[in-house]
Structure 1
Amino acid sequence: MREMNTKFIEELRRTCESTNINFLLGAGCSFPAFGTLGNSERLWEQLKQDGADPGIAAAAGADTDEIERLIEAHLKAEFFTGAILPNKTYRGDRTKSTMQTKTNYQSFCIASMKLAAKREASTLPKQVTFFVTNYDICMDVALDQARIATNSGYTGRFNPVVDLSDFGRRVTASTLALGYQSEIPSANLVKIHGCASWRKMEGHIEFTNEFDLIEQIEKKIEDIRQAAQLPNPTQAPGLQSGLLPSSNIFNDLVNEAAGQIHNFNSDSVKDLLDLLNALQIVWPTKEKFQDTVLDEVYYAQLRRLTNQLEVRNSVLIVAGFSFADEHIRKLILRAADTNPTLKVIILCYNIQAQKDIRDNLEKEVGSKLENLPNKNIVTVTGSKRKDGSQIDLDLKTIAALLKKVIK
């Protein structure tokens, strides 16, 4: 457990000078423009494991499957509204929250690339790999605006197809007169869980700047909301983010769905789920590892993460990621155990986030992180202000930290 002080910054500088640099960015990095997962994964797990109480369904005169389908559509619509829909307007959005996220990403992007750009040794690549678990285009836009050569896994110009052989290519420039070659700093951008800008076309996945599917889903959700209005105009069928009133308690969702099931058209709910499932993303459920393995693209990206962490003298800097994601958590812990030259530095938003992250990791390994054989996982919190309060480690603060590292 470390604090972001002068000593830590100096150690991080030495680490980045001599290692292969990797970042893992979670949903917390895209706040406030995009929402975080919240309790979505836990509620999905309860839906899959427990399901709706048949007694509640019988009392409502409804089918259990219909109630469960409505709850699934609600949870996915709620998640879609916070984590997917803002992509449609992100590039041109000038609202305060979006501009803040854009500025944070751009500052972070430029600072993190300079970690590799300042290297003198030719044996180490002037390349940084960003593993992103979000579905948004924030990092894509930041790298593009910073004019950084990026391997994004796309090949083609007019119909870019997701092709993971693109990762790892290094870029050099040469003078015409002398033939001198020098490496240009470049980035690998790996979207582990897919992206809102991906679509499946004729058996493969393409990258697109058209968000027509997102627009279809947005309209379908709004149509269902309008059709499901209750007789009393003062009562809304749900909050704006989903189809039902938002709740963190699964039984409340079951009761709400049972009470309102007759206000929803069953075929419309099925159609909405079909549209949502057409998104080329891995939904945040306990089944996502199986979903990932089934799809060659997702599986290959996980393999890329594994391979990067097995490289000698590598560092993985984690930000905005809670380690609640079971399969990525296991993957990183296994790599830290088998590769003693790997350093995992977890930048925690605050003390509570540090506690939650350590709980997730220590529950997995069954011991304190300090007791692991290689002792190569460290959690870091912000430094203290003069009044004793702790600085939150958001993406803006992390960018400022990296600027100190590269001085």
Structure 2
Amino acid sequence: MPAIQVAGNIEAEINSLLIGGNSEDANLMALDFIEELAETNVDLLAGVDEQPLNETLSNYVDFLSIVDAVLFERKNILLPRQANIFTTNYDLFLEKAASKLPNVTLNDGFDRTSAVGSRYLFSPARYFDRTYRSGNITDRIAELPVLNLIKVHGSLSWIRDADKDIRFASNGVTLSGNVSKIDPAAVRAALATRALILPNLRKFESALMERVYFDLLRLLSNCMDKDNALLVAFGFSFADEHILDIIHRALRNPTSQLLIFAYSAANVTGFSDKFAQNRNVTIVGPGTGPSIDFKSFNSILRAIVPDGGVPQ
């Protein structure tokens, strides 16, 4: 928000069509939804000067700079200078924001070690890499802060390569082109090129996407199993049953903590119901004040960094 409106009831509407046996209209609704997102991201990557795009991008830049400042405060090698950003969004605002922060290293999970060509393949093992820099005179090494971007529902910058691998779309986000909306086969083919977990009960259109989805969810579970793990949640409803189940299991780790920022008082009630059995969940709501939007969320995070994370 405000560049992209919230998804609303799109998943329920698509599911209703599928349950009624109307898969053709369900596919068409999914394609229209994705294409609308793609159009916004084409404008984002092209640097179109529009207020909603600029405002949203500014919030993401601020967010990444805060997380980077938190990691910078880790002065020894006992704790890795890494933060994991899990998102179910398809858009590229995080990637675009990172490109505006020269000191931020964003690891999106693609193997770019090859010096020839640009056929970068998705390799989740890359999330376990740590990056160090040494001085040219002394042997002292320092770990560089790295933000791992883990897009559990896929991305508009991902392409299915013969349905065997996922590769990075080096030419940026593209639209599906002149797809005949009255041809069900053409609509299915347009959807099949996207490496996305579609918003419906029939989430997995391919074994490849199913495998990637559960690999990334396993990564979320492993992160939460670490001692003193902290998961900060913002802008997420926990409506995805797979993710909710994993979080519930992970919270059995008594040292883990889930900190949820709720947009409104109504959201506080919903989160309280979902996590009523967990004692290691804290929900921050707006109370009688204004809603907790992205800008106010950033201001809260900024307050925990010494000197606001501003270089002295």
TM-score (norm. length: structure 2): 0.88
The 5 Å alignment of 1:294-305 reads 295-305=210-220
Q: For residues 209 and 270 of structure 1, do their structure 2 counterparts lie closer, same or farther at Cα, with a shift above 3 Å needed?
A: same
- State the AA in 2 paired with 1:380: V
Structure 2 alignment gaps of length 5 or more: 307-312
Q: In terms of mean alpha carbon deviation, does 33-42 or 311-320 score higher? A: 33-42
8 A Cα contact 1:315 1:342, kept in partner: yes
Q: Which residue of 2 aligns with 1:177?
A: 137
Cα deviations by residue, 1:88-137 (Å, 9 ceiling, x for unpaired): 22121211000011000000110122112112343111111101110011
The one-letter amino acid paired with 1:191 is K
How does 1:20-31 map onto structure 2 within 5 Å?
31=1
Aligned length: 299
Select which of 270, 290, 313 maps to 2:228: 313
Task: Answer 1 or 2: higher relative contact order, Cα 8 Å, separation at least 6.
Answer: 1
Shift of 1:33: 1.4
Contact 2:204 2:210 in 1 (8 A): no
Given candidates 154, 157, 181, the residue that maps to 2:110 is 154
Which is higher, the Rg of structure 1 or of structure 2?
1
Q: State the AA in 2 paired with 1:379.
A: I
Counterparts of 1:88 and 1:352, CA distance in 2 = 34
1:198 alignment partner in structure 2: 158
Residues 199 and 206 in structure 1, CA contact (< 8 A), matched pair in contact too = yes
Change (3 A) 1:211 1:111: closer
Distance 1:325 1:292 in 2: 19
Partner secondary structure for residue 280 of structure 1: strand
| AA at the equivalent of 1:397 | S
Q: Which residue, 292, 299, 304 being the options, matches 1:400?
A: 299
1:102 maps onto 2:72 in alignment: no
Identical aligned residues as a percent: 25
Residue 70 to residue 297, structure 1, CA distance change in 2 (3 Å): closer
Q: Does 1:84 align with 2:45?
A: no
Q: Distance in 2 between matches of 1:294 and 1:209?
A: 20
Q: 1:73 to 1:317 in 2, by over 3 A?
A: same
Give runs of ≥4 in structure 1 deviating > 4 Å: 289-294
CA RMSD of aligned residues (A): 2.1
**What's 1:7 paired with?**
none
> How far does residue 211 in structure 1 lie from its aligned partner after superposition?
4.8
What amino acid is aligned across from residue 150 of structure 1 in structure 2? L
- Per-residue CA distance 1:68-103 (angstroms, 9 max, x = gap): 244213421332244333122212121100001100
Partner of 1:260: none
2:228 counterpart letter in structure 1: N
Structure 1: distance between partners of 2:140 and 2:215: 35
Q: In 1, distance between residues paired with 2:175 and 2:152?
A: 24
Match of 1:123 in 2: 78
Residue of 340, 344, 348 corresponding to 2:258: 344
Q: Could you list the per-position Cα deviations for residues 31-62 of structure 1 after superposition, in whole angstroms to 9, with x for gaps in the alignment?
A: 111232211111222223233xxxxxxxxxxx
Q: In the superposition, relative to structure 1, how do residues 178 and 294 fare at CA in structure 2: closer, same or farther (>3 Å)?
A: closer
Q: Which runs of 5+ in 1 are unaligned?
A: 1-30, 52-67, 225-264, 363-368
Alignment TM-score, normalising by the size of structure 1: 0.69
Residue of structure 1 equivalent to 2:29: 75
Q: Does 1:274 align with 2:185?
A: no
Helix, strand or coil for the counterpart of 1:216?
coil
Residues 326-361 of structure 1, C-alpha deviation per residue, up to 9 Å, x if partnerless? 110111111002x110000011111122223334x1
- 1:165 paired with 2:64, answer no
Code of the aligned partner of 1:376 = N
Task: Give the Cα separation in 2 of the matches to 1:292 and 1:94.
Answer: 40
Letter in 2 for 1:107: D
Query: What residue number does 2:282 align with?
Result: 378
Shift of 1:184: 1.5
CA–CA distance in structure 2, aligned partners of residues 32 and 210 of structure 1: 26
8 Å CA contact retained: 2:230, 2:259: yes
Shift of 1:290: 8.7
Q: 1:239-277: CA deviations, max 9, x gaps? A: xxxxxxxxxxxxxxxxxxxxxxxxxx4xx2331232123
Q: 1:191: Cα distance to partner?
A: 0.9
Deviation at 1:175, TM superposition (A): 0.8
Structure 2 CA distance, aligned partners of 1:34 and 1:82? 9
Structure 1 Cα separation of the partners of residues 206 and 190 of structure 2: 17
2 CA distance for matches of 1:70 and 1:289? 16
Shift in alpha-carbon separation, 1:293–1:377, aligned structure 2, 3 A: farther
d(CA) in 2 for partners of 1:289, 1:381: 34
Q: Indicate the structure with greater helix content.
A: 1
Q: Does 1:355 align with 2:241?
A: no
Query: 1:283-341 CA distances to partner (integer Å, 9 max, x unpaired)?
Result: 1112327967863322211111111011111000001101111110111111002x110
